[in-house]
């Protein structure tokens, strides 16, 4: 049980509201609410005060693995700060994870656009060849190539914006940091909550990439010399690959962000 859950549990056992607990600790109701929702972490003085108010040890509040409260207060050694490492606070950790989430979607979207960018050229060329459009195959390929270049430009912009969002947290890449108390517990809770979705995205993503060739093969066998049907089959294949890669990249980048804060 992490600190936030322990505060909620002990407060409710004593029948106190957030405002009543805040009054005893000399803080506002909003401060207690932020502690309980893991938006912030109380400083060591407030943790000592909470231990006295709740009648439990500070060890119980600080150690996630301790599920049962100790009534006897244990004297603790003063905490020594490691000045050589930057401390990542709860607010910074939440901001980093939000940036990673946005970046994972951006990178996945960029790769998806790369995968589907040839579709327009293939479809327009096939329409021109079949005589079903008011333009020749060459013009169709040219228009399609222009659309492809535009899509690729958008993909590059998405990549750059995703990189900018993560560049603000470049210090986390050098592993010269330590996390504030509560950050590791919060990250582990998020990993536990997202574990099922993470595995499901990987399974679906890999499966889509493997079976993506089936529509192209089916259209090739059924179409004969109909280039448009073959182009549609190829387009479906590229769409399936794009979706599969999006799911894989999105979930893997997000999971890597979780693990980065646990190092």
- Are 110 and 29 members of one domain? no
- Are 55 and 93 members of one domain? no
- Are 38 and 113 members of one domain? no
The reply to whether 57 falls in a domain is yes
- Tokens 């090739």: give the residue: 220
- Are 119 and 239 members of one domain? yes
- Are 103 and 31 members of one domain? no
Q: How many domains does the chain have?
A: 2
pLDDT value at residue 175: 58
The reply to whether 251 falls in a domain is yes
| 125 neighbors 137 (Cβ within 8 angstroms) | yes
Question: Which residues of the chain are under the pLDDT cut of 50?
Answer: 72-83
Sign for the CA dihedral angle at 185, 1, 193, 94 comes to negative
CATH of the domain at 27: 1.10.260.40
- Are 142 and 91 members of one domain? yes
- Are 170 and 223 members of one domain? yes
The reply to whether 77 falls in a domain is no
The reply to whether 72 falls in a domain is no
Task: For residues 127 and 222, give the distance between their C-alpha atoms in angstroms, rounded to a whole number.
Answer: 18
pLDDT value at residue 173: 65
Structure tokens that stand for 137 in this block: 């195959």
The model's pTM: 0.67
CB atoms within 10 A of CB 98: 12
Task: For residues 107 and 159, give the distance between their C-alpha atoms in angstroms, rounded to a whole number.
Answer: 6
- Are 124 and 223 members of one domain? yes
Range of the domain at 194: 86-262
**Domain final residue pick, 46, 62, 78:** 62
pLDDT value at residue 56: 85
pLDDT value at residue 83: 46
Q: Over the stretch 92-138, which tens digit does the pLDDT of each residue have?
A: 888 899 999 999 999 999 999 999 999 999 998 888 887 767 788 88
- Are 246 and 156 members of one domain? yes
- Are 224 and 110 members of one domain? yes
């Amino acid at each position: 049980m992490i600190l936030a859950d322990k505060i909620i549990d002990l407060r409710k056992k004593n029948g106190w509201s957030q405002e009543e607990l805040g009054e005893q600790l000399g803080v506002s109701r909003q401060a207690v609410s932020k502690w309980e929702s893991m938006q912030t972490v109380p400083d060591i003085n407030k943790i000592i005060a909470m231990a006295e108010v709740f009648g439990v040890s500070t060890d119980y509040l600080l150690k996630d693995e301790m599920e049962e409260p100790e009534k006897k207060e244990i004297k603790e050694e003063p905490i020594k700060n490691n000045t050589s490492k930057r401390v990542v606070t709860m607010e910074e950790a939440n901001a980093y994870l939000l940036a990673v989430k946005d970046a994972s979607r951006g990178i996945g979207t960029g790769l998806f656009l790369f995968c589907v960018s040839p579709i327009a050229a293939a479809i327009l060329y096939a329409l021109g060849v079949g005589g079903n459009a008011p333009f020749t195959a060459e013009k169709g390929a040219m228009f399609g190539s222009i659309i492809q270049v535009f899509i690729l430009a958008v993909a590059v912009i998405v990549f750059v914006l995703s990189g900018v969002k993560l560049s603000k947290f470049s210090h986390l890449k050098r592993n010269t940091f330590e996390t504030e108390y509560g950050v590791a517990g919060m990250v582990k809770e998020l990993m536990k909550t997202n574990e099922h979705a993470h595995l499901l995205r990987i399974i679906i993503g890999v499966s889509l990439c493997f079976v993506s060739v089936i529509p192209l093969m089916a259209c090739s066998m059924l179409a004969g010399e109909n280039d448009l049907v073959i182009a549609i089959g190829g387009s479906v294949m590229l769409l399936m690959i794009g979706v599969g890669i999006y799911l894989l990249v999105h979930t893997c980048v997000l999971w890597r962000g979780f693990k980065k804060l646990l190092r």
